[in-house]
Amino acid sequence: MINLILCGGSGTRLWPISRTLLPKQFVPLFKDQSLFQKTVLRNQPFCDQFLIVSNQEQYFLALDQMQALQNNIDSQFILEPVGRNTAPAIALACMAVDSNAIIFVTPSDHLIKDQAAYEAAVAHAKQLAEQDKLVTFGIQPTYPETGFGYIEAQGEDVLSFKEKPEYTVAESYLSQGNFYWNSGMFCFKAGVFLRELEQHAPEMFQACQTAYQQTQQEAFLRIPLEAMQAIPADSIDYAVMEKSQHVKVVPSDIGWSDLGSFEALDQELEKDSEGNTQSDNTLLLNAKNNLILGDDRIISLIDIEDLMIVDTADALLIAPKGSGQKVKKIVEQLKAQGSDLPQIHRTAHRPWGTYTILESATRYKIKRIVVKPGKTLSLQKHLHRSEHWIVVSGTATVTVGENVQLVRPNESTYIPIGEKHRLANDGRLDLILIEAQVGEYTGEDDIIRFEDEYGRQ
């Protein structure tokens, strides 16, 4: 069985710890493990191959986290230049495998705590999939949640799919007893899904087929941008599951959570005797039932109850419990203001390493750059800024124009505006340097790439 892991989504409801370029599935929320890593480890006992569909910006995050597991996992990546929802992502993945292969589709950002019940549910779903059924997993609801879709069922037969309901409607679903939360997990043969997609969404099927035929075969499968944009965007539920006559549901009580809000995350984290999340950097006096997330500085609470305090290097969120679903409205405001805060942390991960913004003001920006051994940045130039590089540790191989030189600790080099340049670490240790940018504009989009090892434009 092949585990198809969907890594899309920006996780705006967990801002500011989750950003577009570091969404919640890659944040190490649980004892230095991310939800993505926990997904892989959870499915490894019964899946012999992993097929990961990712935005191309998140590929190296996923690859690094796969390698950190050190389990010799058989994995392949499909990179989407833009997202077109779940149905096209699944279709492209199914086109990349044998038509009789059993595909187990899972999101990358869910938490499941009952492994034994989970494995039993998956085993039953596999049996149904071998009978050419499209299988979905219905989660036994524990309260009238309005943020999930529902599945109405009679035994294993699906009667209907329901949109996210109003609270009173969700209450009626619970009282009836035959409604389940839609988990977003599926199991079927690759060929069966493609057959149903062709029947019920022929335009999407043809566009996916055209895009797959143009796929660039590298260390991963990269879908061309124009071909991806030509695919109609839709979810697997709308495109196939709500229309097919071959759908079954496996009711599942597996300790499932989509961690779609800070309240949901709060339920999964360890607490002290007063109901506060445990942390080494908190000082609490008569504080109860608070969610406290933050690593960079001491957080002190006095006479405070039922708050959510989320502290990062560049943003602080404070809200009462129960208001977590409103976080995305703050993100929308930030986007309307043109802020980078919804997209990126102060420390940004790149294929070659990381950079951390130490200070940013009008006409200048200062960064700490770490380049991993053997990695090379793109050959590039900037139209609005010059750069000064000062090496702290390691040895930098620096190309400026036609000149190539080695720059060692406590040495520096200068890159004028408009000059082609490149930075590489040919050594065995991390290269650390300080970059000072000076110019009328220091935004990350002021970059023209000429050559790039990672296929970026």
Answer with the one of 226, 257, 288 that is the final residue of a domain.
257
| pLDDT tens figures, 296-313 | 789 999 999 999 999 998
Per the structure, how many domains does the chain have?
Answer: 3
Element (H, E) at 56: none
The confidence band for 72, taking pLDDT boundaries of 50, 70 and 90, is confident
Q: Return the closest-CA partner of residue 237 out of 166, 149, 169.
A: 149
Question: What CATH number corresponds to the domain at position 24?
Answer: 3.90.550.10
Q: Return the closest-CA partner of residue 213 out of 196, 228, 192, 197.
A: 228
pLDDT value of position 70: 75
Would the pLDDT of 199 be above 80? yes
* Same domain for 77 and 14: yes
Neighbour-count burial for 5-34, b at 16+ CB within 10 Å, e otherwise: bbbbbbbbbbbbbbbbbbbbbbbebeeeeb
pLDDT value of position 280: 77
CA distance 444 to 346: 12
Residue 334: inside a domain = no
The confidence band for 287, taking pLDDT boundaries of 50, 70 and 90, is very high
Residue 342: inside a domain = no
**Rounded mean pLDDT, 21-48:** 91
Range of the domain at 176: 2-257
pLDDT value of position 103: 98
Q: Please compute Rg for the chain using Cα positions.
A: 24
* Same domain for 429 and 354: yes
Residue 158: inside a domain = yes
* Same domain for 49 and 8: yes
* Same domain for 221 and 195: yes
Q: Are 192 and 91 in contact (CB under 8 A)?
A: no
pLDDT value of position 67: 85
* Same domain for 359 and 286: no
pLDDT value of position 73: 85
- Number of alpha carbons in the 13 Å side-chain half-sphere of residue 412: 9
* Same domain for 275 and 250: no
**Rounded mean pLDDT, 422-448:** 94
* Same domain for 444 and 387: yes
pTM, whole model, 2 decimals?
0.86
Q: What is the mean pLDDT of the chain?
A: 92
Report percent pLDDT > 90 for the chain.
77
Residue 264: inside a domain = no
Residue 263: inside a domain = no
| pLDDT tens figures, 82-106 | 889 999 999 999 999 999 999 999 9
Residue 190: inside a domain = yes
Query: CB 429: neighbour CB atoms within 10 A?
Result: 11
Answer with the one of 233, 257, 281 that is the final residue of a domain.
257
* Same domain for 319 and 245: no
Residue 444: inside a domain = yes
| pLDDT tens figures, 133-185 | 999 999 999 999 888 999 999 999 999 999 999 999 999 999 998 999 999 99
**Rounded mean pLDDT, 7-33:** 86
**Rounded mean pLDDT, 37-65:** 91
Cα–chain center distance at 191: 27
* Same domain for 366 and 300: no
Residue 414: inside a domain = yes
Would the pLDDT of 315 be above 80? yes
Would the pLDDT of 240 be above 70? yes
pLDDT value of position 457: 66
* Same domain for 418 and 308: no
Q: Output the CA–CA distances (angstroms, integers) from residue 452 to 135, 146, 287, 424, 449, in the order listed.
A: 42, 45, 51, 12, 7
